[in-house]
Chain A
Amino acid sequence: MHSYIPIILMVSVGILLGSVFLLLHRFLGPHRPNPEKLSTYESGMPPVRSARERFSVKYYMVAVLFILFDIEVIFLYPWAVNFRTLGLFGYVEMVLFIVILLVGYLYILKKGALRWD
């Protein structure tokens, strides 16, 4: 636990630094707002509707696939550290795990989930 204290300190330094920057900015920068300046930028035209509309389902697909694959990779890490003590048995086990993962990969490939055009 003791070695995590510097990390907590670094997170707080990061937050503090951001605040210092923004405060400095508030005192040094001008503050003369007007409606045009505060409107959303849309290439100089008055903005049409809100930006929060529907967007392509592909982004969700990538996010879901990422979660699946990332968890699989994360599971491999504890194995990789103890890999030499586990020996050949551990290796075969992990090959099975990766093969199952590859079957899933081939399935999404065939389904066309990774096609972007």
Chain B
Amino acid sequence: MENILQLLSNPIVSAVLMALAPLLFILPYALVTIYIEMKMAAHIQNRLAYMQTGWHGTLQPFADILKLLQKEDIIPTAASKFLFILAPYLVFVGTYSSFAVLPFSSAFIGSNIDLGIFFLIAVSSLVVVGLLMSGWASNNKWSLFGALRSAAQIVSYEIPSALAILGVVMVSGTMSTQEMTHFQDGGIGQWIIFGGNLPLWQKLSLIPFMIILFLIYLVSSMAEVNRTPFDIPEAESELVQGYNTEYSGMKFAIFYLAEYANLFLVSAVVVILFFGGWTSPFGTFLSGPVWGAFWFVTKGMLFVCLNIWLRWTLPRLRVDQLMYVSWKVLTPFALLCVLAIGLIVVM
């Protein structure tokens, strides 16, 4: 027993464990979310979804993974083999290393760097490179067009989302995700969407701008994970599967896993930025390191479900509408919000 404790306190061993911990979260999370998504989609469309595998189809995600494992790994002769294999790695590594700065609770964060949220913006952009690479390497018209659209879309929505994060950084005065959460500690009224931990008149005047910034971030984060109403990159009726048309088996599964992990990532960022991260909504009641993880995951899953709900409710946008929303609506509004927040905070 003592030996194990000694081993755990070894900095290298504990660092390795910290690096593996998000994986232990992502895998069960992905299985649960795939199931939730299919069931929600089905009930929104007035049907049942899986009913055969296990009780109400609960074993279906496992069956899907087994099926994907047994599929043949196909690399088309026309494809660039090296880039074709490299692309899923890039997508997965970009998503996975972003989990390092998510504060799951006051006691658990992969790496508490000062640049926190900035690192997250930078590293999660690696996904775009991976998508573009997969589309180019496939040497398939559908894949290439899917990848180009995807890159144009993610890149366009990166600007409003970075501006929305900027507004929050101005209010909290820090880029570290952990400090940002501490700033909002102390109940629902201290969350940044309600003006954070500032004097009352500043809080009251900040609320409308914070709500606008939250909506801007929510919309652009949905665009960044390529989901309906922003799923033009993989519009099934036009582009087959988009950038991953040529991928099969486990490589396809990695893209799929990264997409779901990304979905949690953007939802978690919404929670950290506006809804108090791991803090309890009731102040000191039900707070602490373990409850912190509970609140963080619960709030995150709430936004994941919101995303799924919107996906199955709204129709798909056209490319020009998509560009219009990003460049001519969200970006100017976000800039104006940043200016207004600056004026309020500096006064």
- The answer to whether B15 and A14 have CB atoms under 8 Å apart is no
Minimum distance in angstroms from A115 CB to a CB of chain B: 8
How many Å from the CB of B319 to the closest CB on chain A?
Answer: 6
Which of B74, B89, B159 is the one whose CB lies under 8 Å from A37?
Answer: B74
A66 and B327 alpha carbons, distance in the complex (Å): 10
Bound CA–CA A23/B172 (angstroms): 45
Contact of A6 among B19, B88, B145, B249 (CB under 8 A): B19
A47 and B16 form a contact (CB under 8 A): no
Partner of A109, one of B151, B328, B343, B345: B328
- Smallest CB gap from B89: residue in A: A18
Q: Are B69 and A95 in contact, with the CB atoms below 8 A?
A: no
Are the C-beta atoms of B346 and A88 separated by less than 8 Å?
A: yes
Contact of B96 among A14, A95, A109, A116 (CB under 8 A): A14
Assign chain B's interface to a size class. Answer: 35 or more
CB of B91, distance to nearest CB on chain A (Å) = 9
Tell me whether A110 is interfacial, beta carbon within 8 Å: no
Whether A63 is near chain B, meaning CB under 8 Å from some CB there, is yes
Partner pick for B166 among A10, A11, A39, A80, CB 8 A cutoff: A80
Asked if A7 is at the interface of the complex by the 8 Å CB criterion, the answer is yes
Mark interface residues in A45-64 (1 if CB within 8 Å of B CB, else 0).
00100111001001100110
Question: What number of A-B contacts does a CB cutoff of 8 Å give?
Answer: 203
Question: Is residue B339 within 8 Å, beta carbon to beta carbon, of the partner chain?
Answer: yes
Docked pose: A102 CA to B138 CA in angstroms: 39
Task: Chain B residues near A24: list those with CB within 8 A.
Answer: 69, 250
Interface size of A by CB at 8 A reads 69
CB of A96, distance to nearest CB on chain B (Å): 11
Within 8 A of B (CB), among A58-117: 58-59, 62-63, 65-66, 69-70, 73-74, 76-77, 80-81, 83-84, 87-88, 90-91, 94-95, 98, 101-102, 105, 109, 114-117
Q: Contacts A40-B78, A80-B169, A117-B320: A91 and B346 contacting too (C-beta < 8 A)?
A: yes
Residues of A within 8 A of B136 (CB): 52
Give A76 to B69 CA distance when docked, in angstroms.
46
Q: Residues 62-73 of chain B: 1 if any A CB is under 8 Å from the residue's CB, otherwise 0? A: 000000011111
Interface, chain A (partner B; CB < 8 A):
3-7, 9-15, 17-18, 21-22, 24-26, 28-33, 35, 37-43, 47, 50-52, 55, 58-59, 62-63, 65-66, 69-70, 73-74, 76-77, 80-81, 83-84, 87-88, 90-91, 94-95, 98, 101-102, 105, 109, 114-117
5 inter-chain pairs at a CB distance below 8 angstroms, sorted by A residue, are A13-B20, A18-B92, A41-B76, A76-B166, A90-B346
Interface residues, chain B, with chain A CB atoms under 8 Å away: 15-16, 18-20, 22-23, 69-79, 85, 88-89, 92-93, 96-97, 99-100, 110-113, 118-119, 136, 138-145, 148, 151-152, 155-156, 158-159, 162-163, 166, 169-170, 173-175, 240, 245-246, 249-251, 253-254, 319-320, 323-324, 327-328, 331-332, 335, 338-339, 342-343, 345-346
Q: A10-B96, A14-B96 are in contact. List 15 more A-B contacts (CB 8 A).
A: A3-B113, A5-B111, A7-B111, A9-B18, A25-B71, A28-B69, A29-B71, A41-B142, A51-B144, A59-B151, A73-B159, A73-B162, A76-B338, A114-B324, A116-B323
A-B pairs, top 8 by smallest CB distance, nearest first, are: A116-B320, A25-B250, A9-B19, A14-B93, A14-B96, A6-B111, A66-B155, A80-B169
